Structure 1
Amino acid sequence: MNDFSNASGLVTTGHTDIRAQEARERQALEDRVAQMRRDHEQSEKDRQDAHFKEQIAAQTEAGLRANQQLQAQRMGIVNTGQALTEGQKAQIAAAKPMNGSAPQALVDQLAVTVGGIQLGPQQAKDMAARGEISQGDYVTAVNAALVPYGYSFR
């Protein structure tokens, strides 16, 4: 063995040592590539989780905005647990511009309050048809229920 080989740190004891060193280097490279893949997959999973959480938060907020009591509370009109008076409903209506006629599907889902009694949507419609409540009271009640959604009833 010459002095150059010793000074460079290169061990030249045979082909098996070189092949073993090359195998270790290949394995180290494969390990680094595998770790990079795992890191990338974890990063992608984290990104998807964050996007999913953003969607849930947006849908939750949309659902909460539809809640009439929460709307009133956020506007400072009532405290939690209080029922809305007609004056408070008028305040909500004044604070939020109407966007036109309500979709029938929304009207068919909303409970309405007539004379202080809460009625289901179909029950109120049937009572108005039978004349048990006036058509004007029915329309007023539906309009009051639509206020948080930004709609009015014909």
Structure 2
Amino acid sequence: MNDFSKASGLQINSNQIDIRGREARDRQGLEDRVDQMRRDHEQAEKDRKEADFQEQIAAQTEAGLRANQQLQAKRMGINTGQALNEGQRAQIAAAKPMNGSAPQVLVDQLAVTVGGIQLGPQQAKDMAARGEISQGDYVAAVNAALVPYGYSFR
């Protein structure tokens, strides 16, 4: 005890000081935990919203790419349904193979693979005409696509 305490006759119980200090520290600790929980909740909510947003972007990107592929295929004259319509089937069936040569309507509908890359029929013709792929590669690719139909390309 200090001299003032002795002179004034006040007696300070050190246990009361320790209890109040402990209570203050406990309150501060509780407030700190509540604040941390609030920050954690806000971060979790922000992360959830970000994940939802990224998922939405991915879905829209996928839809856009799908639409873009269909648009590009349509512009290149590729049959995006991968199926011939009834009129085209009838033309192919009615065509008499001349020296095993495929009917042009079939050649115009088949996608071909050149160098491991699948190309639409018009795209492959255009690339061969521009010299981007060799004529031999183009003919080989068309012949490979015609094998299931029992035809060959000239």
Shorter-normalised TM range = 0.3 to 0.5
Instruction: Output the TM-score relative to the length of structure 2.
Output: 0.42
Instruction: Output the TM-score relative to the length of structure 1.
Output: 0.42
